[in-house]
Amino acid sequence: MTDIMWDAEIYEKAADTGTPGPGHAASSPSLADPRQLRNALGNFATGVVVLTYESGGEYYGITVNSFTSVSLDPPLVLVSLQRTSRSLTYLLERPFAVNVLGDDQLDTALHFAGKPQSRPVDWAEDGAAPRIGGSPAYFQCTPWAGYDGGDHVLVLGRVVSHGQRDDTSPLLFYRGQWSALAQESDTPEGRRP
């Protein structure tokens, strides 16, 4: 049992902190327009990963930005894939690698997002599934479970091995654009508190 316990009184007070004022609902966009919801969700910057796997002796991958850690014991990660994704069936039945992309791997992200690039993919073959060489981090996974997520399926993978590089920065996705971390300035004005 954990040492941290929920205080029901604090929890109830937090739930009662107030109600939106008049006109609040009128200023909220309608959920009937999925594009507006997608645009609002785009304000959350995410990292970019490519899920890779082998089928019939060929290597495949798909670029996603919906990835998170779930558990350390057992070691689980989660990715979210559209139900219509051709990769979904494969990821539910065979080993796969989650490749966290660096800011120098935009061409790789585009390639596996359906925009083939002329630069060849740097494949590494040192685990249960092929992975992309030069990535800041990777996680070799076996399928753990798949869950209904509306128009998506939430795929849990059990991490069987992993690796990382500390000499690169991540590729980011923000408001529908590819991005990189801002470089911290060496001047006192540029330092964050």
**Over the stretch 140-151, which tens digit does the pLDDT of each residue have?**
999 999 998 888
How many Å apart are CA 95 and CA 176, to the nearest integer? 30
CATH label of the domain that carries residue 136:
2.30.110.10
Over residues 67-121, the pLDDT tens digits come to 988 999 999 999 999 898 889 889 899 999 999 999 889 889 989 988 888 888 9
pLDDT at res. 181: 61
Residue ranges making up the domain that contains 63: 46-163
Q: Is residue 85 domain-resident? A: yes
Q: Is the pLDDT of residue 18 over 90?
A: no
Distance in angstroms (rounded) separating the CA atoms of residues 86 and 62: 9
pLDDT digits (tens, 9 = 90+) for 33-79: 676 665 565 444 567 899 999 999 999 999 998 898 899 999 999 99
Tell me what the pLDDT averaged over the chain comes to. Answer: 78
Residue type, position 184, single letter: E
Q: Is residue 132 part of a domain?
A: yes
Residue 128 lies in a domain: yes
Please tell me whether the overall predicted TM-score, pTM, comes out greater than 0.95 for this model: no
pLDDT value, residue 33: 67
* pLDDT confidence of residue 172: 75
Q: Tell me whether residue 13 is in a domain.
A: no
| Sequence-distant (≥ 6) Cβ neighbours of residue 97 within 8 angstroms | 51, 52, 53, 127, 128, 129, 130, 131, 132, 138, 139, 140, 141
Q: Does the residue 142 lie in any domain? A: yes
Residue type, 155: V
179 is a domain residue: no
Question: SS3 breakdown of the chain: % helix, strand, coil, rounded to 5?
Answer: 20, 40, 45
Asked if residue 54 belongs to a domain, the reply is: yes
- Say how far apart CA 106 and CA 123 lie, in whole Å: 16
Count of structural domains, the chain: 1
- For residues 153-176, give the mean pLDDT: 84
24 in a domain, yes or no? no
Strand-pairing partners, residue 64, are: 49
